[in-house]
């Protein structure tokens, strides 16, 4: 077992006294760059080569030292069968259930593999690139610590009346899913000619791809590829710092959630303004509905840089609801400058706690009137 407490030199637990505070566990091949980043972030890293050794050291931490690790990192290329067994064993220890678990990868094209693994093993929280900086890693650890505790808390509440609530939830989910697939499929067929016209117009209006694809966090913070018609210039994401001062949701409170919405955003193209004004840029999300990433009605999936700021139990409650194309805040105050960050999050929380099929139908009926925005956002 190796405990890393400095930038460049491992300290062996068998040879030195070690303070077992702020510990993270890494399973995989030796990565000195990763160890250095964790150490720089104030973590002591226990590195093991396989899941068998990981079990031994985790049980030692929990039983002998009464210490819960801050996070567990696993190389994405470790055998899937061993990963499955390891995750199963983790769930048998109540004290380890809220510990964030990340898959680590050095391949930039590993997103498809990660999404596949996360769909099979809900215990996996997120993935991290080996070249991520220490601040990104620390931010994700802190977020998922809060989020996992919130998820467990709500699971306990549901188990109080397990049979009744499980059947009700299952029936509600089935009706909602059948409705989503049916409506989305019909709309995709009907709107296909409009899709072609918009695609041609985008290519003629400005250089770049037809679709904008980004990572979003949906229900239970599941990460997926999110599709829209491109409404901005090609390098819009790189220019984000330029427009931070124009942010509609800018808040002076240091612990406030972070949303970004800009009136008259200079990155938006001429055609993009029309697409946004009429919400036609949202149409490709019907494919997300077919895939099961989104529902027609739910809380808006968030870009990861926004989602990681929702770190309290109160704010994280919004993630227990399905992600959706339209929702309660869209029909209430969408596109209005007067809406604050807290108002938007509270509307999401209200939907998460009160959602049902009838409420979904009411939101859908009111959505067409809310599609045309009042402001250029």
**What residue has token string 């990340």?**
102
Which of the two residues, 353 and 371, has the higher pLDDT score?
A: 353
Q: What is the DSSP letter of 61?
A: I
- Backbone phi, then psi, for 72, in 5-degree steps? -125, 130
Dist. CA 347–CA 344, nearest whole Å:
5
Q: What integer pLDDT is reported at residue 294 of this predicted model?
A: 94
Highest mean pLDDT among 56-65, 162-171, 214-223: 56-65
Show the CA angle centred on residue 139, arms to residues 220 and 20, nearest 5°. Answer: 105
Q: What integer pLDDT is reported at residue 264 of this predicted model?
A: 66
With a cut of 60, say whether residue 24 has pLDDT above it: yes
| CA contacts within 13 A on the Cβ side of 134 | 12
Question: Which domains are delineated in the chain?
Answer: 2-158 (3.40.50.2300), 161-370 (no CATH)
Task: Identify the band that residue 2 occupies on the pLDDT scale cut at 50, 70 and 90.
Answer: very low
Which of the two residues, 312 and 210, has the higher pLDDT score?
A: 210
Dist. CA 26–CA 28, nearest whole Å:
6
β-partners of residue 227 are: 213
Q: What is the DSSP string of 134-145?
A: HHHHHHHHHHHH
Average pLDDT over residues 207-220: 86
Q: What integer pLDDT is reported at residue 311 of this predicted model?
A: 56
Name the average pLDDT for the chain: 78
Q: What integer pLDDT is reported at residue 7 of this predicted model?
A: 27
pTM of the model: 0.59
Q: What integer pLDDT is reported at residue 227 of this predicted model?
A: 94
Q: What integer pLDDT is reported at residue 260 of this predicted model?
A: 56
- Backbone phi, then psi, for 287, in 5-degree steps? -70, -35
Q: What integer pLDDT is reported at residue 282 of this predicted model?
A: 92
Query: Of the candidates 33, 58, 223, which has an alpha carbon nearest to the alpha carbon of residue 129?
Result: 33
Q: What integer pLDDT is reported at residue 161 of this predicted model?
A: 43
């Amino acid at each position: 077992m190796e405990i890393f407490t400095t930038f460049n030199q491992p300290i062996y637990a068998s040879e030195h006294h070690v303070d077992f505070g702020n510990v993270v566990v890494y399973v995989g091949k030796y990565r000195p760059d990763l160890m250095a980043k964790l150490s720089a972030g104030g973590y002591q890293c226990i590195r093991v080569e396989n899941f068998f050794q990981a079990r031994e050291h985790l049980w030692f931490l929990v039983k002998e030292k009464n210490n819960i690790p801050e996070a567990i990192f696993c190389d994405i290329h470790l055998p899937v069968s061993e990963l499955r067994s390891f995750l199963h064993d983790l769930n048998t220890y109540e004290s380890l259930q809220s510990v964030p678990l990340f898959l680590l990868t050095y391949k930039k094209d590993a997103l498809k593999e990660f999404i596949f693994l996360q769909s099979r093993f809900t215990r996996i929280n997120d993935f991290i690139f080996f070249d991520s900086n220490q601040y990104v890693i620390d931010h994700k650890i802190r977020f998922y610590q809060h989020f996992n505790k919130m998820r467990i808390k709500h699971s306990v509440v549901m188990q109080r009346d397990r049979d009744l609530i499980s059947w009700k939830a299952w029936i509600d989910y089935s009706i909602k899913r059948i409705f989503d697939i049916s409506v989305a499929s019909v709309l995709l067929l009907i709107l296909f000619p409009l899709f072609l016209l918009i695609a041609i117009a985008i290519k003629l209006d400005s250089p770049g791809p037809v679709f904008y694809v980004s990572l979003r966090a949906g229900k239970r913070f599941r990460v997926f590829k999110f599709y829209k018609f491109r409404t901005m210039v090609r390098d819009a994401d790189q220019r984000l710092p330029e427009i931070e001062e124009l942010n509609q949701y800018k808040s002076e409170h240091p612990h406030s959630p972070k949303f970004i919405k800009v009136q008259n955003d200079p990155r938006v193209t001429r055609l993009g303004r029309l697409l946004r004004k009429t919400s036609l840029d949202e149409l490709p999300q019907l494919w997300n509905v077919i895939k099961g990433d989104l529902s027609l009605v739910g809380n808006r999936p968030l870009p990861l840089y926004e989602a990681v700021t929702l770190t309290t139990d109160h704010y994280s409650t919004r993630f227990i609801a399905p992600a959706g194309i339209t929702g309660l805040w869209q029909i209430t105050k969408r596109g209005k400058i007067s809406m604050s960050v807290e108002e938007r999050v509270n509307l999401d929380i209200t939907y998460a706690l009160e959602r049902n099929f009838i409420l979904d139908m009411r939101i859908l009926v009111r959505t067409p009137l809310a599609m045309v925005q009042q402001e250029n956002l």
